């Protein structure tokens, strides 16, 4: 198993040159530098496990995604340690908080409580179900930090509600707030704006379903056939016998699919 080290996906290089959003630039640069369009999701409940996996799998990923509210022994020290690992291993931190409330509430959820998410998460996401206020609310606590927002346009789970109108609204709002919004969580390419990044969860090397309605597509299907840019993978890696071997496999599968698309 070897990456074609000399090849780069020209499409990503071109899009990097076109985009102005800082987080989009960072993502495109990481994809090219690390030859990885892999977002690892560490849905683990113990901080030590998260830190160990983040450090050992860090070389193969561009983004680490968390659900901070499932952690049972959360401390500020954990965040400091995670930030050091992110710096050492060169990945961005994405808190999958899925903000969905009125602007005033999401602003507080982003900044306050025990987690102070705005202080450490480079990337967060929200649903536009509440309307534009959810985005303007999330902008409030940012100040001059470099932060990016992804819109939750489509979900991977069975029976997820996604009407064409809802997707259209996501596209409109992404353009209106392109200083902050730099892409989508989705199941296929939605935007023709080359600066917008598409990230897809529900990815495994083998298609299938879990027992609670999660549906899986392969990296090839997500990236090559459906035109997404990054794959989000959790249990495919964390529950394998060798997470390091699996992370390399997903890195290779995701990046090869991107190369294949760029060539085509």
Residues with a catalytic annotation lie at 98
Q: Using the rule CB under 6 A, which residue among 33, 43, 172, 179 binds ligand 5BU?
A: 43
Beta-carbon count within 10 A of 107 CB: 22
Structure tokens at 143: 């100040």
Handedness of CA 254, 257, 263, 264 (dihedral sign): negative
Helix (H) / strand (E) containing 233: strand 230-233
- 203 DSSP 8-state letter: B
Q: Does 95 participate in binding ligand 5BU (rule CB under 6 A)?
A: no
The number of C-alpha atoms within 13 Å of 222 and in the hemisphere containing its C-beta is: 34
Cα end-to-end span (Å), the chain:
22
Residue 228 beta carbon to ligand 5BU: minimum distance, rounded to whole angstroms? 12
Residue 152 beta carbon to ligand 5BU: minimum distance, rounded to whole angstroms? 5
Residue 199 beta carbon to ligand 5BU: minimum distance, rounded to whole angstroms? 9
Helix boundaries (H) for the chain: 10-18, 22-34, 47-57, 76-89, 103-111, 133-139, 164-176, 219, 235-238, 243-263
Q: Does 30 participate in binding ligand 5BU (rule CB under 6 A)?
A: no
Binding flags for ligand 5BU, 190-209, as an x/- string (CB under 6 A)? -----------xx-------
Q: Using the rule CB under 6 A, which residue among 232, 246, 247, 258 binds ligand 5BU?
A: 232
Q: Does 231 participate in binding ligand 5BU (rule CB under 6 A)?
A: no
Q: Using the rule CB under 6 A, which residue among 9, 219, 236, 243 binds ligand 5BU?
A: 236
Q: Does 235 participate in binding ligand 5BU (rule CB under 6 A)?
A: yes
Nearer to ligand 5BU (CB atom), residue 16 or residue 93: 93
Q: Does 58 participate in binding ligand 5BU (rule CB under 6 A)?
A: no
Q: Does 31 participate in binding ligand 5BU (rule CB under 6 A)?
A: no
Residue 255 beta carbon to ligand 5BU: minimum distance, rounded to whole angstroms? 18
Residue 154 beta carbon to ligand 5BU: minimum distance, rounded to whole angstroms? 7
Q: Does 9 participate in binding ligand 5BU (rule CB under 6 A)?
A: no
Handedness of CA 56, 61, 64, 70 (dihedral sign): negative
The number of C-alpha atoms within 13 Å of 129 and in the hemisphere containing its C-beta is: 13
Residue 22 beta carbon to ligand 5BU: minimum distance, rounded to whole angstroms? 23
Q: How far apart are CA 159 and CA 131, in angstroms?
A: 22
Q: How far apart are CA 135 and CA 121, in angstroms?
A: 16
Nearer to ligand 5BU (CB atom), residue 128 or residue 233: 233
Q: How far apart are CA 201 and CA 214, in angstroms?
A: 9
- Binding positions for ligand 5BU, rule: CB under 6 A: 41, 43, 67, 96, 152, 155-157, 185, 201-202, 214, 232-236
């Amino acid at each position: 198993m070897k990456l074609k080290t000399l090849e780069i996906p020209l499409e990503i290089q071109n899009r990097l040159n076109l985009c102005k959003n800082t987080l989009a630039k960072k993502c495109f640069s990481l994809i090219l530098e690390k030859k990885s369009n892999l977002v690892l999701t560490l849905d683990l409940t113990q901080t030590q496990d998260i830190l160990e996996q983040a450090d050992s799998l860090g070389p193969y990923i561009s983004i680490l995604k968390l659900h901070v509210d499932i952690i049972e022994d959360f401390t500020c020290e954990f965040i400091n340690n995670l930030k050091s690992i992110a710096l050492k291993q060169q990945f961005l931190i994405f808190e999958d908080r899925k903000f969905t409330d009125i602007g005033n509430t999401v602003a507080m959820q982003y900044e306050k409580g025990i987690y102070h998410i705005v202080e450490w998460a480079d990337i967060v996401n929200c649903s536009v179900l509440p309307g534009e206020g959810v985005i303007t609310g999330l902008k409030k606590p940012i100040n001059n930090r470099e932060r990016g927002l992804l819109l939750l346009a489509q979900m991977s789970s069975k029976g997820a509600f996604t009407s064409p109108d809802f997707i259209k609204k996501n596209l409109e709002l992404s353009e209106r707030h392109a200083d902050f919004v730099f892409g989508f969580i989705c199941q296929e390419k939605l935007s023709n704006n080359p600066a917008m990044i598409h990230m897809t969860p529900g990815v495994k090397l083998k298609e299938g379903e879990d027992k609670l309605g999660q549906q899986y597509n392969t990296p090839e299907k997500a990236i090559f056939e459906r035109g997404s840019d990054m794959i989000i993978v959790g249990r495919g890696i964390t529950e394998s016998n060798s997470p390091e071997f699996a992370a390399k496999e997903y890195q290779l599968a995701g990046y090869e699919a991107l190369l294949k698309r760029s060539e085509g």
